[in-house]
Amino acid sequence: MKEIIDVLISKEELHRRITELGKEVNEEYKDKEVIMIAVLKGAVMFLTDFAKEFTGDVLMDFLAVSSYHGGTHSSGNVRVLKDLEYDLEGKHVLVVEDIVDTGRSLETVLRLINSRKPADVKVCTLLDKPSQRIIENLTVDYVGFTIENLFVVGYGLDYEEKYRNLDYVGVMRFED
């Protein structure tokens, strides 16, 4: 089966929206130091472009987790694959995500971050697929693009670890 990728959000559209979103979120943090936390690996591309719009002090940290989605979401069964470098206590934290789908990944990440007692935590995601949300009461403060229930790749997002390097977001389909 051949993997075909159709452009959903072009390089130019990404650039325009990320610049706009960066300026908007910068307003919130211009007078305070923010720790941006990118969830590996998907959010890295977005973080690097987004962070360039900030004019205040920005620290960056990276987190990788895997959760056992089979269990109840309150079980707290989170495996930290790569922990944070910084102590978050009393800090302003901005979680930067590639995509929020069911919300399970984000919920896991927020549980971990909140346990470190930050002053406040906000969430910024490049893509949001609200139709697939399972976790309710999940606050996503800033969204780049809201998309339908499509499987997308590129600009950090992968299919079997491939296509993260594309400079656009595409929809994947298979052809014989």
Positions annotated as catalytic residues are: 101
Closest CA to 170 of 156, 158, 154: 154
For every residue of 34-98, DSSP letters joined together read EEEEEETTTTHHHHHHHHTT--S-EEEEEEEEEE-TTS-TTS--EEEEE--SS--TT-EEEEEEE
Q: Quote the CA–CA distance of 99 and 91 in Å, as a whole number.
A: 24
Binder of residue 101, out of ligand IMP, Mg ion, none (CB less than 5 to 8 A by kind): ligand IMP
Neighbours of 70 (CB within 10 A): 7
User: Which one of 15, 151, 162, 173 is in contact with ligand IMP (CB under 6 A)?
Assistant: 151
Binder of residue 68, out of Mg ion, ligand IMP, none (CB less than 5 to 8 A by kind): none
- 38 part of the interface to ligand IMP, by CB under 6 A: no
**Which residue shows structure tokens 């999940």?**
138
Q: Show contacts with ligand IMP in window 41-80 (CB under 6 A).
A: 42
- 99 part of the interface to ligand IMP, by CB under 6 A: yes
Q: Closer to ligand IMP at the Cβ: 92 or 98?
A: 98
Size (the chain), residues: 176
Q: Closer to Mg ion at the Cβ: 103 or 118?
A: 103
- 100 part of the interface to ligand IMP, by CB under 6 A: yes
User: Which one of 22, 42, 118, 144 is in contact with Mg ion (CB under 5 A)?
Assistant: 42
Residues that bind ligand IMP (CB under 6 A): 42, 98-106, 151-153, 157
Residues at the site binding Mg ion, with contacts judged by CB under 5 A: 42
